[in-house]
Every structure is written in C-alpha cells, then in structure tokens.
Structure 1
Amino acid sequence: MSAVTVAALLVAAGVAWAAATDNMVPTNNYNKACSTGNADSGVVCQTDNAQVTYYMDSGGSDALETVDKNIVQKMMSAQYAPTDLSISYDSTPAWSGSSETDIYYAEATVPGSADGTTWCNDAVSTYRCDQTYIRIEGGGSYTPGLSCHETGHAVGLLHGSSASPQLSKTNKALGCMQTPVNYSEPLGSSNKENINGLY
C-alpha cells in the first residue's frame, strides 16, 4: 500500500494530523463501550453530538458558588468554544428524553483521593453518552485546569496512559488532560485537534 493511500485512509478515518497522540475514545489502549455509571465507576464516553449544552447546579447541597460558576463559564468560553463543539449554557436543564442537557456540573464529595470525577448518566450508543455528570470537590478545587480536565472526559478525552501512542501522565502535550493538572492548564492544541477530528 502506498504512503498516499495510507494517508488518504487516515484522513477518511478522521485522524487529527497535528495531534501529539490520539487520546479520544476509542483508542488502541482504551476501547470500552460507553455505559451508565456513577461517581464510583465511570467509563469515558464521547458526548452524543457537537452541540454541547451544560448546566451548573444552582441549588441545594451540590450547588456551585459564584466563583466556581465563573471559572467554569470562562473555561468553557476560552477552551471548548473555539473548537468545533458548539457550547451553550442551559439554564433550564433537561434530565430525560432524547435531548438531555449534555453536561451537569456539581460540587460535592468525590470518592477516593481525586478532586474530580466524571461519569455517563445516560449511555446511548457504543461510545456515546446523552448526559454526563461532573462532580468536583469544594474548597477551591474548581480550578480552570481541573474543570477543563473533567470536561475533557465528558467529550471523550483520555489520560496519557490510555492514549495511542501512550504518553506519560504529565506530558505537556496532554494539556489539561495531564494528571495531576495545574491550576490554569489550558485544553491544548493536541486535544483541540482530537475534538475537531471527531465532532
């Protein structure tokens, strides 16, 4: 097979040429079917389409403080809106049906030692989820970097160990998908290329 034929096949398959690695579900190192989970066990899934709506809990024990809401809004605007995803805030979230609000942010205790967790609340196909929950601890844990990281999981981005080729968990090419993630780590060009290659 010629190099031109291989290149044509890769372009047709949606491979992002500028990406440092493929860390978008599925990869050669992460090929789990999307499934409905919970805070203790979640599978990383793609979101169900490029029109991404999100809601931040505004009442009760899981509500985000104003400072945390501002962090998420600025992060979504600066990091995800410039991609091929269409990002919009949903002030009247839908919790059921075929057009659920895509991402729900809550501030609450996270199991184990992590500061954040993400899980699919409504798996709709092999790799796609209609609604994803993001939970981040209180006490200053809602940082631009961590909210970018958990949102990355909500659209299908993976850690370096699950990427193909694999990268160290702190490789700078992973942007905010590094673990641990710095306070203001941006999405990064490789993650943007992977998002744009899929959506």
Structure 2
Amino acid sequence: MRPNVLQKAKRRVDGSGDGAARGSLGRRAAVPAVGLAALLVATGVAWAAATDNMVPTNNYNKGCYTGSADSGVVCQTDNAQVTYYMDSGGSNALENVDKNIVQKMMSSQYAPTDLSISYDSTPTWSGSSETDIYYAEATVPGSINGTTWCNDTASTYRCDQTYIRIEGGGFYTPGLSCHETGHAVGLLHGSNASPKLSKTNKALGCMRTPVNYSEPLGSSNKENINGLY
C-alpha cells in the first residue's frame, strides 16, 4: 500500500524528517557540481564511460528537492545499499507480471553494479532508513508513461526515498523500469549529460528516450554508477 502522504508532509513541516535531522552518517558526500567525469580524471582515475550522465553534470546541477510526479527532479540515492518495494495492495498495486519484470531487471541490470540491491517486503516510510525506491502503477502526468521523483530529500544531491510511477496496460517493461530506476540512482538523459548526447544515442542504454522494450542498462551507465557508489 502507498504511505500516508499527509503524515510524510507533516514530518517535513515539523522538521523531524528532514535531511539535517537525519544527518549523513554512513553516506558519502555529494559529488561537486564540476561533474563526475572531471572529478575522476582530476584524481587520476580512469574514465571509460561514453559520457557523464550522473547528476550533477556540467549540464545539470540542480539540487535535489522533494517534488511531485510532474517535477522532473533527478537525484542520487543516499547510499550504495538500495532497497526497493513494489506496491502490493490497492489501486497502485503492480500485477504479478509487472513485479516479475522489475525483479528480473534489478537482478540482471543493477545488482551486478557496485550498488547492493535488495527487496524490502516490509517498507519503511520514515526515519533514517527509509526504503529507497517505491514502485507504483498509476496514471502519469502528460504524455509520458513513467516518472520518477524524490519524496524525501537527504542532502544537496541525494534523496532518501524515491517514488517511481509507471502506467499499467503493459508499460511496466524491462526497458522502462530500467530507465526510471536509472533516474532513481541519479542517471540523466543524453541532453543533460556532459558531453551532451542525442537522446537516442545507443551508449545511453536504457536511459535513451524513447527506450526499447528490453533495453539493458549498458556499460556506460554502469561505469557512472560504479564511479559514484
């Protein structure tokens, strides 16, 4: 079931759930706005990714903020231990076929990276250890079929809990679920990358727009994830 949004809003208003109150114990500091690729090159680390499309980049350095389904904000997740939950009750529940798609995608695409991926069957909606990614099936604003946004900001570029919403009717594909999960860990579209790439460039893997049904994460995105986490 979805969390009680009013309760979460109250936590943010009274300050009991904000990033400063939770602190940053166990979290890495956010990468400076100079961009991940430039930082790694400057420190002598080899860089093999096709482009830097991990927030922040030279072409996207917006700070993370608590948004909504139509805000379009992209943030890093708050640490390498990523937990996720798929809505299992009510109008936003995923069908079993969609759950299987997400689980297989996470196992085959994100688990082999430096992220530690685990399913949280008893999700946490408050405190310092919130479930990192929440998947729901519901109508998405505008003409797109999937959206991602931060529901609880942790720091300048990091989010403590991210919501992913994808429409029903067959849109929970391996490619689109990979794409929205990419946003949940900080990956951007080609137009926000540094250097910029065409939105359909194959090097972007599942971060291409539009994304193919079975588009994998791709080696460049894996390099960006491993470089940060």
Greater relative contact order (CA < 8 Å, ≥ 6 in sequence)? 1
- How far apart are 1:17 and its partner, in Å? 1.0
Aligned partner letter, 1:77: S
Which consecutive unaligned segments of at least 5 residues does structure 2 have? Answer: 1-36
Partner of 1:47: 77
Which consecutive unaligned segments of at least 5 residues does structure 1 have? Answer: 1-6
3-state SS of 1:23 partner: coil
Aligned partner letter, 2:211: V
Matching of residue 56 in structure 1 with residue 95 in structure 2:
no
3-state SS of 2:205 partner: helix
TM-score, normalization by structure 1: 0.94
- Cα distance in 2 for residues equivalent to 1:24 and 1:50: 14
- Cα distance in 1 for residues equivalent to 2:44 and 2:84: 26
- Cα distance in 2 for residues equivalent to 1:12 and 1:148: 30
3-state SS of 2:163 partner: strand
Partner of 1:127: 157
Aligned partner letter, 2:119: Y
Q: Deviations over 1:172-197 (max 9, x none)?
A: 00000000000000000000000000
- Is the Cα contact below 8 Å between 1:160 and 1:166 reproduced in 2? yes
- How far apart are 1:42 and its partner, in Å? 3.2
- Is the Cα contact below 8 Å between 1:34 and 1:44 reproduced in 2? yes
Percentage identity across paired residues of the two chains: 92
TM-score, normalization by structure 2: 0.82
- How far apart are 1:40 and its partner, in Å? 1.5
- Cα distance in 2 for residues equivalent to 1:8 and 1:45: 19
- How far apart are 1:150 and its partner, in Å? 0.0
Alpha-carbon distance change, 80 to 8 in structure 1, aligned in 2, over 3 angstroms: closer
Matching of residue 19 in structure 1 with residue 44 in structure 2:
no
Alpha-carbon distance change, 159 to 15 in structure 1, aligned in 2, over 3 angstroms: farther
Matches within 5 A, 1:1-199: 10-11=40-41, 13=43, 17-199=47-229
- Cα distance in 1 for residues equivalent to 2:94 and 2:200: 28
Runs of 4+ in 1 over 2 A off after TM superposition: 7-16
